[in-house]
């Protein structure tokens, strides 16, 4: 039970942080089910969703630089 509680707190904390960072409530976005299940997907999936809905966000979602020497 402790692990489940810790997991739920982590999920809730991340989603709150994400909402503050993007300037929008997850419930107001399309693909909110996938965003809420971010831990079941890779980072590229989450970033892809955020890129598709970027007009609703207060931040510019860009693909992170994988290699700075290019």
Low-confidence ranges of the chain (pLDDT < 50): 63, 65-70
- How many structural domains does the chain have? 1
Q: Is 69 helix (H, G, I), strand (E, B) or coil?
A: coil
**Residue 61 counted as domain residue:** no
Position 47 in a domain: yes
pTM of the entire structure? Answer: 0.74
Domain membership of residue 64 (yes or no) is no
Q: Which of 33, 15, 23 is nearest to 60 (CA)?
A: 23
What pLDDT is attached to residue 5? Answer: 92
What pLDDT does 1 receive? 86
Dihedral Cα 44, 49, 55, 59, nearest 10 deg: -40
Q: What is the pLDDT of residue 58?
A: 76
> 23 is in which domain, residue-wise?
2-56
Q: Quick check: is 70 in a domain?
A: no
Give a yes or no: residue 27 inside a domain.
yes
Residue 70, pLDDT score: 41
């Amino acid at each position: 039970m402790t692990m489940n509680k810790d997991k739920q707190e982590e999920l809730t904390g991340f989603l709150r942080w994400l909402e503050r960072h993007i300037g929008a409530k997850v419930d107001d976005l399309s693909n909110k089910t996938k965003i809420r299940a971010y831990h079941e997907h890779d980072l590229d999936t989450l970033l892809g969703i955020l890129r598709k809905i970027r007009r609703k966000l207060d931040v510019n979602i860009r693909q992170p630089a994988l290699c700075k020497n290019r």
